Amino acid sequence: MRHRSSGLAIALYALATAMASAGCGGDGIVSDPGTGTRTLAVQASASYESGLQGASFDVRVSKLGQAVSGAKVAVTSGLGMVTLVEGPDQRYRGNQAGWPDDGFILDVEVRDGAGKLTDSLSASVRVAAPVKLVRPSVTAPFDPHTLAGGVLDVVWSGPAGDRVRVKAKDFEPQPFSPDPLKVSIPAATFNKPEHDLEITRSNTVLLAGGAPDSSFTSDYKLKTTLIVANPFP
């Protein structure tokens, strides 16, 4: 599905949802590199962190190495459309309550002093599914000295994303691609009674309508704490 302007974003979303509901082969909003004038360098993100109440959007727009001011930047999902606000750093930001089930549509428009459209970009990214731990339990302590094979297997549910990052104190390997839905953490990592764990699932689409290296990413971060009995010294 190609998304061509912010004026059509909600209508396109409604059409995609209707097709999916009717069994017509639609999947709602999916990752689509989109269209555009190929003149804008755009780095966009839609992010969610567990424990918070909604998504946050951050979009950088530049042209020929210079930040673009005064653009119209909008993100649309099944939860509605958000027109982003330009900050003093010339980045466009906004928030939306909740986290949608399918994806986000990004629309960027730049007009000259006479109101003529000079630059544009439109694309979409599939939402990163919420990260839900399968094991270990976050309420039951575990003893790292008794772990089979000397590792703690951390498992989370699908659907898998394009990439996942895992951080547990000093354990922070390179991002996994694709999302493996599982990682093994050395037992000796757990040297405190409580241990923070972060798992961030991401989906990214490269933007065909933008300058090289333009991208739109959806991130979902789980932040939780594991309880360690008899931690390593």
pLDDT digits (tens, 9 = 90+) for 69-86: 999 999 999 999 999 999
**Does the pLDDT at position 120 exceed 90?**
yes
**Using one digit for the tens of pLDDT, what is the confidence trace for 147-204?**
999 999 999 999 999 999 999 988 999 999 999 999 999 999 999 999 999 999 999 9
- Confirm if 111 and 119 have CB atoms less than 8 A apart: no
In the chain, domain spans: 6-127
Half-sphere exposure of 128 (CA within 13 A, CB side): 30
Class of domain 6-127: mainly beta
Q: 151 - beta bridge partners?
A: 186
Handedness of CA 5, 7, 9, 14 (dihedral sign): negative
User: Which of 51-55, 72-76, 91-95, 196-200 bottoms out in mean pLDDT, i.e. has the lowest?
Assistant: 51-55
**Residue 27 confidence (pLDDT):** 58
User: Which of 16-20, 103-107, 127-131 bottoms out in mean pLDDT, i.e. has the lowest?
Assistant: 16-20
* pTM of the full structure: 0.87
Half-sphere exposure of 206 (CA within 13 A, CB side): 4
- Calculate the average pLDDT of the chain: 90
